Chain A
Amino acid sequence: MNIWNMTKKDLVVFFRDRGALTWLFVLPLVFIFIFAGLGGRAMSGDSTSQEEKRTPLGVVNLDQSGATAQLFLKALDQAGGYRVVLYDQQNAEQLMNTAKLRRYLVIPPNFTPDLGQAKPVSLELIVHPNAGEQGTQSILQVINGVAHDTSLELQLLDGIRQMGEMQAANPQSEQIFQAEKVMAQAKAQFERSRGAPLIQVVQGLPQEPKEGELEQADLTQSMVPGITVLFVFLAAQTVARSIYEEKQAGSLRRLLAAPVRGWELMAGKLLPILILTLIQIVFIFAVGALLLPVLGIGRLGIGNDPLAWAVTSILMALCSTSLGILIAAIAKTEGQISGVSNVVLWVAGFLGGTLIPAFLLQQIPVLNFLSKLTPHFWASSAYYDILARGKGLADILPNLGILLGFAAVFFIIGQRRFRFE
């Protein structure tokens, strides 16, 4: 009850402070527009235009002169949902290495001749390790569908061709075109197409980047989750300052003399900032979802699992505000609060992959190790999985557990170490 009383009071005090309201709403807006504007299609990576709303699908066609390859590409382009964009192999590999292309399909050079001889061929979908699993499955489904249709068509045509050859080999036979035989042949070809399709799709990994070729981050894809985490961890400083201001004003002395337990007092200082941080997150995503598309900048989605997004946001805010309790216990002056907060915000934020994508840092063993010691890493990778890779709650449970652990450790140590003197 005391926690809620303290929370209500802090929220009322906060909402009467116009400067604080600016912090709550204007700063996130600036943040959204700067970073959304930077990326263009930053927010969800699925920027849309009036002319073309389909998602581009990269294709490397090594059978450029083959008629069947052309037919396949036309069918793929018309299948709906995806727009075929052709690349040459070198260009596609380069884009994949710099994470600017997440997936591309390779049509082998022998595609048309092999299919012409009813020989099975394999298409390879090259997928970047950081590409969203859901998006990959969706593309595979479309390619498989087109491949299946093409296989069936080719195998039926092949069956009819075989019957024509049989007719030619036995001109005196009149029974060969009986309807039952044609149907049986068509059915056999259909079954064969299902059981052993001529065109198969396999998933492949990109080639290792050549030595000296630095992998670059796709900033538009990785920036928003990282910056959102960085922004949420600003709340730690707000909690620490809130406690410090209460101490400076003398009201903390009165609270300590009231029948309020130590953990209740700290929770009462944590909860209002937690609520405000969540309001901020919702505000950021609401503006990203509703306003940015209107402005033609892009769209900030919450991934495919709203529950995963919500739980991650709550635990991230809890971790950040608990960190604020720890900072308040360690830092004795306003200057120390700023100093410690800046270290936490920028150093841990950097190591945690909020400014530079974690997969880049992971290439350096020391940084890879250090990054995992920061809550920012687990928060940003959870957000990244949800927002960019389309993963769900079950996929990010380890991250959530670690964030909860960080929050508990920060809160318990902070509460026990806190001294009024």
Chain B
Amino acid sequence: MTTILEVENLVKHYGNFQAVKGVSFTVEEGEVFGLLGPNGAGKTTVISMLTGVIPPTSGTARIGGRDIVREALEVKRMIGLVPQDLAIYPTLSARANLNYFGSLYGLKGKELQERVDDVLGIVALTNRQKDAVEKFSGGMKRRVNIAAGLVHQPRLLFLDEPTVGVDPQSRNHIFESVLKLNRERGMSIIYTSHYMEEVELLCNRVAIIDQGQIIALDTIKNLIDMLGGGVIQIGLRQCDEALRAQLQALPAVKQATLLAVPVAVPAGEDAQPAGPESSLVKIEAEKGQQAIINVIGFLNERDIQITSLEILEPNLESVFLHLTGKKLRE
């Protein structure tokens, strides 16, 4: 496999604030690579540096063997960007938008029209191509936004949170489009999201990014295997270091970690608050079911009140929690 993207120790500072603290990874040709992290983790900053929107403070990156700073124009001809914002012109039709963005890559005449026809087909908007984008639903606008990044047939496509604010039907359209581009056309894709379900569905490998650093990078399977027998999160009325050590010593328990007391959880979130006077303990199990039995039995014997109990499924969300002690959408 050929490497399409090599990133080495990429750093971005804004004054004293370090938005990206030395990120390194590679992406192979034909791969769908996920950048997973909560809002503000630095995903968009990494994408912005790789696409030439902002210069890196230090570090290097090569796309198709070309340096993103020294050979910026050549690199930009190889890549496509679908930004998080709806970077299209609402008063223009879908076709006019695509014609415009295609023309910036030197496309013209019949070739341009064929490419526009092609991408309109990919995002399933051929029958609405002449309508002004402002008349479209949010999901349709997102699809035009994606099409605008595809019209010049880039080798490497950056999709930065492409499903934000999209209805389920349009989200499915977008997933289908991404998979089709990758499988049928061999397009390499870097997909950023804070939705772990999307990354699990679409990506071969994932880099988990938090506070400007990559904290894990592997295939989804390998990342989930890190959890071993699963993760249990227990809210206790009281917990100190001694109790944590006792829990960790229980059979089938790999590790017990005392987490910070959660102060508040926004309405609608699926997490259960442990209560203002509670402590949150994360139990990493070697054997999930056995660990639960042992932990609950131990706490009951000592009459320690359990205020919440959450058994985390083995997925990227759990991996993120395991790695950072916080949830992806916090």
Contacts and interface: CB of A to CB of B under 8 A. Distances in A.
B54 A420 contact: yes
B92 A13 contact: yes
A16 B87 contact: no
B111 to A, nearest CB: 14
Contact of A257 (B14, B79, B84, B103): B79
B52 interface: yes
B73 A259 contact: yes
B101 interface: yes
A211 interface: no
B83 A253 contact: yes
B85 A250 contact: yes
A255 interface: yes
Contact of B77 (A13, A250, A259): A259
A394 interface: no
B192 interface: no
Interface string A390-418: 00000000000000000000000000000
B85 A249 contact: yes
A12 interface: yes
Given A12-B96, A253-B85, A253-B87, A259 B48 contact: no
Contacts of B103: 1-2, 5
Contacts of A257: 51-53, 76, 79-81, 158
Contacts, number: 74
Interface in A243-280: 249-251, 253-261
B84 A254 contact: no
Instruction: Kindly state the interface size class of chain A when it binds its partner.
Output: 20 to 34
A9 interface: yes
A174 interface: no
B88 interface: yes
A132 to B, nearest CB: 47
A17 interface: yes
Closest 5 CB pairs of A and B: A250-B85, A257-B81, A250-B87, A257-B51, A259-B76
A9 B92 CA distance: 9
Contacts of A12: 92, 96
Contacts of B79: 257
A421 interface: yes
B100 A421 contact: no
B149 interface: yes
Contact of B89 (A9, A258, A260, A421): A9
Interface string B128-151: 000000000000000000001100
A251 B54 contact: no
Contacts of B80: 257
A254 B83 contact: yes
B86 interface: yes
A257 B54 CA distance: 9
A253 B48 CA distance: 8
A258 B106 CA distance: 10
A145 to B, nearest CB: 63
A16 B91 CA distance: 7
A265 to B, nearest CB: 10
A71 B88 CA distance: 78
Given A16-B92, A250-B83, A260-B104, 18 more contacts: A5-B100, A5-B103, A6-B104, A9-B92, A12-B92, A13-B89, A13-B91, A249-B87, A251-B88, A253-B81, A254-B83, A256-B53, A257-B80, A257-B158, A259-B74, A259-B106, A261-B73, A421-B14
Contact of A250 (B73, B86, B104): B86
B83 A5 contact: no
A258 B76 CA distance: 6
A2 B105 CA distance: 8
A307 B29 CA distance: 59
B81 to A, nearest CB: 4
Nearest to A251: B87
Interface of A: 1-2, 5-6, 9, 12-13, 16-17, 249-251, 253-261, 419-421
Given A12-B96, A258-B105, A261-B73, A421 B54 contact: yes
Contact of B91 (A17, A251, A253): A17
* Residue of A2, A253, A255 with most partner-chain B CB within 10 A: A253
Contacts of A16: 91-92
A254 B80 CA distance: 9
A349 B87 CA distance: 36
Interface in B24-64: 48, 51-54
B34 to A, nearest CB: 20
Contacts of B84: 250
A17 B103 CA distance: 23
Contacts of B52: 256-257
A9 B54 CA distance: 24
Given A9-B89, A421-B54, A1 B106 contact: yes
Contacts of B53: 253, 256-257, 420
Interface string B103-133: 1111000000000000000000000000000
A18 to B, nearest CB: 11
Contacts of A255: 104
A260 B87 CA distance: 16
Contact of B87 (A2, A9, A254, A420): A254
14 contacts: A2-B103, A9-B92, A9-B100, A16-B92, A17-B91, A249-B85, A249-B87, A251-B88, A253-B53, A255-B104, A257-B81, A259-B74, A259-B104, A419-B54
A251 B103 CA distance: 15
Contacts of A1: 103, 106
Contacts of B106: 1, 259
B117 to A, nearest CB: 19
A259 B88 CA distance: 17
A5 B97 CA distance: 12
A419 B12 CA distance: 14
A251 B54 CA distance: 14
Contacts of A249: 85-87
Contacts of A6: 104
A16 B96 CA distance: 13
Contacts of B74: 259
Interface in B207-222: none
Contacts of B101: 254, 258
A116 B53 CA distance: 88
Contacts of B81: 253-254, 257
Nearest to A10: B89
B36 to A, nearest CB: 21
Nearest to B52: A257
Contact of B104 (A2, A13, A253): A2
